[in-house]
Amino acid sequence: MLKNRRLTPNMVLLVIAILLILFPMLSGNKYYLRTITTLAIAIVLTSGFRLIALTGQLSIAQAAFMGVGAYCSTLLIMNLGWNSWICFFLAGFAAALTAGIVGFITLRIKEIYFAIATLALNELFRLIWVEWDTLFGGPAGIVNIPSPDPILGIHFGSVVSFYYIAVLLLFSATAMMLRIERSRIGLIFSSIREFDTLAASLGVNLIWEKVKAFMIACFFAGMAGALYAHLQHFISPVDFTLMDSVMFLLYGVIGGLESVWGPAVGCTVMIFIPVGLRLIPNYNPVIEPIIFGGILILVMRFCPGGLVGLFQKLVSDLKKTESQKGEQEHAAA
Amino acid sequence: MPLLEAEHLSIRFGGLKALDKLDIQIEEGEILGLIGPNGAGKSTFINVVSGFHKPSSGRITLNGENIVGLRMDQIASKGIIRTFQVSNLFMSSSVLRNIQVGFHLQSGIGFWGSILGNSKTRRQEQVLHEKALEISNLFNMGHLSNEMTANLPHGHQRELGVAMALAAEPKLLMLDEPVTGMIAEETLRFMNTIRAITKKKGTTTLLIEHDMKAVMGFCDRIVVLNFGKKIAEGTPEKIQKNQDVIKAYLGEKKDAQNPGPAS
């Protein structure tokens, strides 16, 4: 009886999904709506970071690929007047294609060396956007990006409509990650991380599989970038810096890279901590990096599996003590 | 035509000639034992054939087709699958997941099939799951299929390595000292299982072992290496009596050869 009432993970997800859909009707607070929109974009990016990490590689260039999507969609809409929904997908494909080309070259190197290569890559993209000012608008960026084109008379320009697009993107990205996780693709990805030589000896094409993961992650990063451009109505190279890429790494590590839910947990915690802190009177946001750094150190020292890992450990410990208790009672009887 | 043919195969590591103009033919369907003292170049041969090392010179052909210079996964996809001398496994995954990775070349499930998860894919996944269970049962590990690999006893870990390789349905299976660290009964049981499976499926097998006794009863033919060179080749009976082989294993004797206690 009690077992049937227990919350299963799927039920928790369903409740969260319904809450996300109903939220704008329950609360008209635009600040929170915008925060959740930003959160959804961050989760999509961090999930991509985790997907790449699943193959044993660390990419510190996810913000750059978000930028590729943002610039691609913006330029096509503003210079060529293309439909923004088509550009939304083209942004994803452009980022994935860029990732494919770059990945085919750089994914031959492993682990920390790949991380350094992506770090340089992020900077490279920033410099292109800054220096090629005739096309990308230079450091000043591109202003007056229009809202997405209306579909069937529905106009997209309000905070609520962006909220729904972001949530839709989040749902589809999460569904994709879950499918990968539960299919052979995820199995092969994690086999590379666990032991690449063994995987290769069983016929796994290491470079191609890693490029695949990189491309899927960057596809979603590109779409998130296009959405971001519409949301802000303004993009500049400052929006897609190395520091932003590092933040996705931070969110991922704090949430836990082992679980598919890690990025969501990490992003939620790290984005709502500042929101909560600002409720304190006379709070100065300057100290935020110190708090973030402190949390990162604590997580890495005491729960290397991230917050999700910590939760899973607590649950399994609880189950163990429960079963031990049961055994003791049984023995006593 | 032999299934695999190595001609004048050499590889140097600095000044050391690990393989020295080696010629080896492996015939379709046979179990070939490759034996020799430690450092004879047995594992190096497997590493070169599987693409882990590039030979300094020489040719390797599979069914007449050159395979030197291909990547490990390309060679694997041509049907040459190897196991490793130490228990190289996906230690933090379950036994079943290990075997599932072995199906990589055979799964027939494409990228979009996996993403969409349609009914065809689900059927294929179900078939693979059953096949994985079947393979784990062949090695008496059915009850351990959900166990984490790192928790398995050594013997089962050795068996799992071979099970994964068999899951890839190789044309040529190369086993690098599969029975290392096993006790005599385990060795016998394991070798019998391998022989039964490979003979049933017609899998050509290359078996490396430095313990001569372990291979004698199981190989159709034996090649003996010493210092990277082939010093003898033939049936197990012939090899047992070969003076060069005895010399390589036991060293030279000053007095006349002792026929041993068997006589």
What is the DSSP track for A9-41? HHHHHHHHHHHHHHHHHH---HHHHHHHHHHHH
Most confident of A216-220, A283-287, B106-110, B221-225: A216-220
Q: Give the model's pLDDT for residue A198.
A: 92
Contacts of B90 (CB under 8 A, 6+ apart): A191, A194, A195, A198, B97, B98, B101, B149
CB contact under 8 A, A198 and B165: no
Q: How confident is the model at residue A76 (pLDDT cuts 50, 70, 90)?
A: very high
Residue among A239, A96, A271, A276 at smallest CA distance from A176: A96
DSSP code string of chain B: --SEEEEEEEEEETTEEEEEEEEEEE-TT-EEEEE-STTSSHHHHHHHHTTSS--SEEEEEETTEE-TT--HHHHHHTTEEE--SS----TTSBHHHHHHHHGGGT----HHHHHHT-HHHHHHHHHHHHHHHHHHHHTT-GGGTTSBGGGS-HHHHHHHHHHHHHHT--SEEEEESTTTT--HHHHHHHHHHHHHHHHHHT-EEEEEES-HHHHHTT-SEEEEEETTEEEEEE-HHHHHH-HHHHHHHH---SSSPP--TT-
Percent of chain B with pLDDT over 90: 31
* Whole-structure pTM value: 0.88
Q: Per the domain annotation, does A13 fall within a domain?
A: no
Interface of A with B in 212-241 (CB under 8 A): 212
Q: Per the domain annotation, does A224 fall within a domain?
A: yes
Query: Which tens digits make up the pLDDT trace of A129-170?
Result: 999 988 888 888 888 888 887 777 777 778 888 899 999 999
Partner residue facing A183 (CB), from B71, B88, B117: B117
CB contact under 8 A, A180 and B115: yes
Q: Per the domain annotation, does A210 fall within a domain?
A: yes
CB contact under 8 A, A185 and B82: no
- Look at A15-29, B129-143, B223-237 and tell me which has the smallest mean pLDDT: A15-29
Q: How confident is the model at residue A220 (pLDDT cuts 50, 70, 90)?
A: very high
Nearest residue of A to residue B75 by CA position? Answer: A203
CA distance A150 to A153: 6
Domain interval for residue A229? 27-242
Q: Give the model's pLDDT for residue A6.
A: 59
Which residues of chain A neighbour B125 with C-beta distances below 8 Å? 183-184
pLDDT of residue B261 exceeding 80, the answer is no
Partner residue facing A179 (CB), from B76, B89, B115: B115
Q: Give the model's pLDDT for residue A279.
A: 85
Q: Per the domain annotation, does A150 fall within a domain?
A: yes
Percent of chain B with pLDDT over 70: 95
Average confidence (pLDDT) over A33-51:
93
Q: How confident is the model at residue A254 (pLDDT cuts 50, 70, 90)?
A: very high
Q: Are A118 and A49 in contact (CB under 8 A)?
A: no
Q: How confident is the model at residue A3 (pLDDT cuts 50, 70, 90)?
A: very low
CB contact under 8 A, B114 and A185: yes
CB contact under 8 A, A184 and B114: yes
> A with B: how many residue pairs have Cβ under 8 Å apart?
83
Residue among B79, B13, B65 at smallest CA distance from B41: B13
Quote the mean pLDDT of chain A.
Answer: 88
Q: Give the model's pLDDT for residue B263.
A: 39
Closest chain A C-alpha to B229 CA, distance in angstroms: 26
Q: How confident is the model at residue B255 (pLDDT cuts 50, 70, 90)?
A: low
Q: How confident is the model at residue B254 (pLDDT cuts 50, 70, 90)?
A: low
**Cross-strand bridge partners of residue B229:** B226
Q: Give the model's pLDDT for residue A2.
A: 44
Residue among B100, B68, B63 at smallest CA distance from B79: B63
Query: Which tens digits make up the pLDDT trace of A112-127?
Result: 899 999 999 999 999 9
ipTM value for the complex: 0.86
Q: Per the domain annotation, does A288 fall within a domain?
A: no
For residue A288, the surrounding DSSP H or E stretch is helix A288-302
* Total structural domains within chain A: 1
User: Mutate which of A202, A204, A215, A219 to test chain B, going by most B C-beta atoms within 10 A?
Assistant: A202
CB contact under 8 A, A184 and B109: yes
Quote the mean pLDDT of chain B.
Answer: 86
Which residues of chain A neighbour B164 with C-beta distances below 8 Å? 202
pLDDT of residue A311 exceeding 60, the answer is yes
Q: How confident is the model at residue A1 (pLDDT cuts 50, 70, 90)?
A: very low
**A67 phi and psi, to 5 degrees?**
-65, -40
Which residues of chain B neighbour A199 with C-beta distances below 8 Å? 101, 104
Q: Which tokens belong to A5?
A: 């009432």
CB contact under 8 A, A205 and B101: no
CB contact under 8 A, A184 and B107: yes
CB contact under 8 A, B101 and A202: yes
Q: Is A188 on the interface with B (CB under 8 A)?
A: yes
Q: How confident is the model at residue A333 (pLDDT cuts 50, 70, 90)?
A: low
Q: Give the model's pLDDT for residue A154.
A: 75
Q: Per the domain annotation, does A147 fall within a domain?
A: yes
pLDDT of residue A7 exceeding 70, the answer is no
Query: Which tens digits make up the pLDDT trace of A89-113?
Result: 999 999 999 999 999 999 988 888 9
CB contact under 8 A, A202 and B52: no
Average confidence (pLDDT) over A63-82:
92
Q: Per the domain annotation, does A85 fall within a domain?
A: yes
Q: Per the domain annotation, does A183 fall within a domain?
A: yes
